[in-house]
Amino acid sequence: MAEDEEELENEEVQEEKENKKAKVEEVEEEDKPVEDHKRIIPTEVSEEMKKSYLDYAMSVIVSRAIPAIEDGMKPVQRRILYAMQQMGLKPGTQTKKSARLVGDVIGKFHPHGDTAVYEAMVRMAQDFSLRYPLVYGQGNFGSIDGDPPAAMRYTETRMMPIAMELVEDLEKETVDFVPNYDSSMKEPNLLPGKLPALMINGASGIAVGMATNIPPHNLNEVCDAIISYIKNPAITIEELCTIVNGPDFPTGGSVHGDMLEMYKTGRGKLLVRGKVSTETSKNKEVVVITEIPYMLNKTLLVEQIAELIQNKKLKDVSDLRDESSKGKIRIVIELRKGASPEFVINSLYQYTRLQDSFSANFLALVGGQPRILNLRNIVEEYVKYRKIIITNRTKF
């Protein structure tokens, strides 16, 4: 019995010693410098900031703001069209709530805010924002006067016929599919892009340290330029410029500037003027504005003209009316008897945004890398991509 008690006492003493030893080791571990902890990697704050900022910059450039030369789409636009195709929102089918589409896009492909996705979709439906709208919108999708669109729960949408050209042959293994953000499904890295979307609809976007601002162009002219390049790969930029006469903005207007220099260098500054004509109404001269510069808020222009009249910079104006209807711009400026229409028109160009500038910067992703492109580069890269698509389709 005594031996058992002694053995038990020895075990307790031994256990107490082990506990003390463990506590001492724990204290020593805490007192060690940070570098001795295996899970903590010492690094300079400046180096970590440099790496993190570079990662963020490349993410914005590649994954958000800059379109691809191949299909002319930014990632959010590409995902919207792909989601619409997967939902069966094709031309001639019944429209579905925009909220449902936005939910599909952010839930499956684009893990960002619903507002950003909805705004991108709305812009794709506005005929004053895109030369060739890709989305058909039913309901209030905003106006050229700056009115905001209705909430996504009220509007409905489906694809426009022209958008089908971008997704045609998608199911024929023409493009690579990559895992989505949570690897639960796959999405196309690019669209087949039968439509030269980058040139005909243009693009604008601000990334980190760079920005793109490509004006829209006429579809017939762009297609003719592509055909001419296919027939003669040695065609010069000067020859292409005889086919592509210049930008073709959805809101109209005349374009002035060195087009050849812009198409040669990929950069340039253009002057865009609204279209103004004179009419006679009730024995009075009337100045009528029927086209305005691209991305100009029409209400803002009317307010600028009204301010000129109020400040007596336009003394010969007796009345100002906005007679615009859906899809048609008509701002009427009624003149007093004996007034000079030419003087009024020149004053409008001088003091209002009826004459505005457009800074072009033909920046796009080529194989995932940002590049400034001239007109020939754009046509060349597009034809090269379409050859790959047609080859893949043939193999399928």
- What is 109-135 written as a DSSP string? T--S-HHHHHHHHHHHH-TTT-SS-SE
Question: What pLDDT is recorded for position 39?
Answer: 73
Q: Assess whether 222 and 299 both reside in one domain.
A: no
Q: What confidence score (pLDDT) does residue 19 get?
A: 64
CATH of the domain at 385: 3.90.199.10
Q: Which of 155, 188, 221 is the last residue of a domain?
A: 188
Q: Do residue 129 and residue 234 come from a single domain?
A: no
Same domain, 168 and 250: no
3 state SS of 228: helix
CATH code of the domain containing 281: 3.30.1360.40
Angle value at C-alpha 21, between 15 and 25, nearest 5 degrees: 145
CB distance 296 to 356 below 8 Å? yes
**Does residue 245 share a domain with residue 332?**
no
- The answer to the question of residue 194 being in a domain is no
- Which residues participate in catalysis according to the annotation? 154
Closest among 371, 361, 369, 378 to 62, alpha carbons compared? 369
Residues 126 and 78 in one domain: yes
> Does one domain contain both 239 and 327?
no
Residue 32's Cβ-count burial label (10 Å; 0-12, 13-18, 19+) is exposed
pLDDT reported for residue 371: 93
Give the total number of structural domains in the chain: 3
- Give the pLDDT score at 120: 95
Query: Which domain, by its residues, includes 385?
Result: 200-269+363-395
| pLDDT recorded at residue 124 | 96
Q: Which run of H or E residues covers position 325?
A: none
The reply to whether 291 falls in a domain is yes
Same domain, 121 and 264: no
What is the structure's pLDDT at 387?
A: 96
**108-163 per-position pLDDT tens digit:** 998 888 999 999 999 999 999 999 999 999 999 999 999 999 999 999 999 999 99
Is residue 265 located within the same domain as residue 384? yes
Same domain (yes/no): 222, 255: yes
Tell me how far apart the alpha carbons of residues 193 and 95 are, in angstroms, rounded to a whole number: 24
Give the sign of the dihedral formed by CA 161, CA 165, CA 171, CA 177.
Answer: negative
Residue pLDDT, tens place only, 232-246: 999 999 999 999 999
Confidence (pLDDT) at 108: 92
Q: Same domain for 160 and 93?
A: yes
Considering the domain architecture, whether residues 343 and 294 belong to the same structural domain is answered as yes
pLDDT for 334 equals 92
- All residue ranges of the chain with pLDDT < 70 are 1-38, 59-63
Other CB atoms within 10 A of residue 151 CB: 12
pLDDT at 4: 53
pLDDT at 17: 61
Structure tokens at 359: 């800074």
The answer on 255 and 386 residing in a single domain is yes
Q: Is residue 114 part of a domain?
A: yes
Tokens describing residue 322: 């906005």
Number of H helices, E strands in the chain: 13, 16
Helix (H) or strand (E) holding 9: helix 2-31
Q: Could you tell me which residues come within 8 angstroms of residue 81 by beta carbon, excluding any fewer than 6 positions away?
A: 73, 134, 159, 163, 166, 167, 191
* Dihedral angle, C-alpha 171, 175, 176, 182, nearest 10 °: -60
